[in-house]
Amino acid sequence: MGDPALADEKLIPPADGFDDPVWIRGESQMDYDAEARLVNENLLDFSHISFVHAESLGAGMDYAETVPDVIAMSRGVRFERWTSGKPFSRTSFKPTTDPVDVRQAYEYHVPGILLSRRAVFPPGSAPFLKTRS
């Protein structure tokens, strides 16, 4: 992807868990038959998940209706969203039909790197933890 001598390692976004077995980490690559601006638009607005990926990701309408906090970064943008007191059966951590509070944070880094983090907490945790995010 260019001349290695011109690479700037400081521009590589931080990703937790590479060498830490405590983290459950997944990585993937997707190839799209679409214009790059459409792909970037898709990555910048996860509210479509409740509609487009309802079966595969299992996000309910409360996900689309929950407005995320948006934080500008020097080379991208960070989105943080909490959903509270809902079952979260489509998690890679541990499926549950019990109500839980879920925090999802994802970062979009220019030119198109997406980092996503999700954590599941006992119901009622969100109001306390939101002030510490």
CA–CA gap between residue 36 and residue 42 (Å, rounded): 10
CA–CA gap between residue 15 and residue 59 (Å, rounded): 24
In a domain, 124, yes or no: yes
**What is the H or E stretch that residue 127 is in?**
helix 126-130
Number of structural domains (the chain) is 1
Range of the domain at 38: 33-130
CA–CA gap between residue 4 and residue 62 (Å, rounded): 45
Q: What is the CATH number of the domain that holds 108?
A: 3.90.380.10
In a domain, 4, yes or no: no
What is the reported pLDDT for 91?
47
In a domain, 70, yes or no: yes
Running along the chain, 133 residues long, what does each successive block of 10 average in pLDDT?
85 75 70 85 80 70 81 92 75 66 88 83 87 59
What is the reported pLDDT for 57?
66
The separation between CA 72 and the C-alpha centre of its own chain, rounded to angstroms, equals 15
CA–CA gap between residue 83 and residue 80 (Å, rounded): 10
Candidates 1, 5, 15, 12; CA nearest to 116 is 15
pTM above 0.95, yes or no: no
Residue in the block written with tokens 């948006």: 70
In a domain, 15, yes or no: no
Residue 104 tokens, joined: 């999802």
Q: Is the dihedral of CA 54, 59, 65, 71 positive or negative?
A: negative
In a domain, 3, yes or no: no
Length of the chain: 133
The separation between CA 42 and the C-alpha centre of its own chain, rounded to angstroms, equals 12
